[in-house]
């Protein structure tokens, strides 16, 4: 293979991935863990591909500043909302992601959040830390049973389907909304396609698995929450801005919603709102749904495959644009 030049977006590469890339390429990394945009552009001079993560904002200004040598933005992760795809397309730069390899772990995390939020594990954990061995014994502290309830899945892609498969084991009644419903999905997952409005009204548990786009930004806002059951539980492992967090906080505080289980946040990469994570009926995880040895290893191999395919065949395997 002809040696090519690669650069990480403004952050150093994980050691294992850097080692695999260095076997065939020249790898350029910032001196510090995260580089400023101008430093990144300087490092990219002469590079034909750049490596980015979901936490690296590749906006129009940065993409326009990239040298003409750059022809691939190889992103690790499924979502590409951190990349201005139109700007990349205008520059003739291909964009790739790493789909599918995290699906199982994302679905596992979803089910964990459903159980934790419904059963009020956050409050139970706080109580257990006091040394109390028998707490939450009065009705106002009780949680909700998961088995037999109605799960509304927003976005029936790979992850949504895996969640539906797991949900069948809890005898959940599954409804979903997606741009492309199908009888095959209904049969395979014992599910029923409904409108967005109907899902909001019927679901006991609402789980978000849609990409962040202009039309899904604040998809769950105050108006949407108003249509939900007061006993509803919201789960989000997709992207933080799909939910209007201020509206969510207000609903959780007032009792308009029962609970939430969140792995992503509107304020990322800045800290989680204290007003959100301090609520006893919110179970927060720090964006770790894909943080397993299996998922991260598979993501690294997939991004390497995309880079190799780009240089060997002229296009990455998982081309987005």
Q: Which residues belong to the active site?
A: 239, 268, 287
The three-state secondary structure class of 50 is strand
Residue ranges in the chain assigned as alpha helix (H): 15-22, 37-43, 60-65, 85-90, 103-118, 121-128, 158-167, 183-188, 196-202, 222-227, 245-254, 274-277, 293-313
Closest to 123 (Cα-Cα) out of 111, 137, 109, 110: 137
What is the residue whose two structure tokens read 């992103």? 75
Closest to 305 (Cα-Cα) out of 154, 97, 115: 97
Encoded tokens for 305 = 């495959």
Q: Are 224 and 254 in contact (CB under 8 A)?
A: no
Q: Are 185 and 161 in contact (CB under 8 A)?
A: yes
């Amino acid at each position: 293979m002809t040696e090519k030049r690669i650069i990480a977006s403004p952050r150093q590469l994980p050691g294992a991935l850097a080692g695999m890339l260095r076997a065939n390429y020249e790898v350029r990394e910032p001196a510090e863990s995260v580089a400023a945009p101008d430093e990144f552009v300087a490092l990219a001079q002469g590079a034909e591909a750049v490596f980015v993560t979901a936490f690296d904002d590749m906006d129009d200004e940065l993409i326009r500043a990239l040298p003409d040598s750059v022809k691939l933005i190889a992103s690790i992760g499924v979502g590409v909302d951190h990349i201005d795809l139109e700007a990349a397309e205008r520059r003739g730069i291909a964009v790739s992601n790493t789909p599918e390899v995290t699906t199982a772990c994302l679905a596992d995390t979803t089910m964990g959040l459903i159980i934790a939020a419904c059963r009020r594990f956050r409050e139970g954990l706080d109580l257990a830390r006091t040394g109390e061995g028998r707490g939450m014994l009065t009705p106002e502290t009780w949680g909700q049973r998961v088995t037999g309830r109605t799960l509304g899945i927003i976005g029936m892609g790979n992850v949504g389907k895996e969640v539906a498969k797991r949900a069948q084991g809890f005898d959940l009644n599954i409804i979903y909304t997606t741009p492309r419903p199908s009888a095959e999905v209904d049969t395979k997952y014992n599910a029923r396609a409904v409108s967005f409005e109907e899902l909001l009204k019927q679901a006991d548990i609402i789980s978000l698995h849609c990409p962040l786009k202009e039309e899904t930004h604040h998809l769950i806002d105050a108006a949407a929450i108003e249509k939900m059951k007061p006993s509803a539980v919201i789960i989000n492992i997709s992207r933080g801005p799909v939910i209007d967090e201020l509206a969510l906080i207000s609903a959780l505080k007032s009792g308009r919603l029962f609970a939430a289980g969140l792995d992503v946040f509107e304020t990322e990469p800045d800290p989680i709102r204290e007003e959100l994570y301090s609520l006893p009926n919110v179970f927060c995880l720090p964006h770790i749904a894909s943080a397993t040895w299996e998922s991260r290893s598979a993501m690294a191999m997939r991004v390497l495959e995309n880079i190799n395919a780009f240089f060997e065949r002229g296009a990455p395997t998982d081309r987005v644009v």
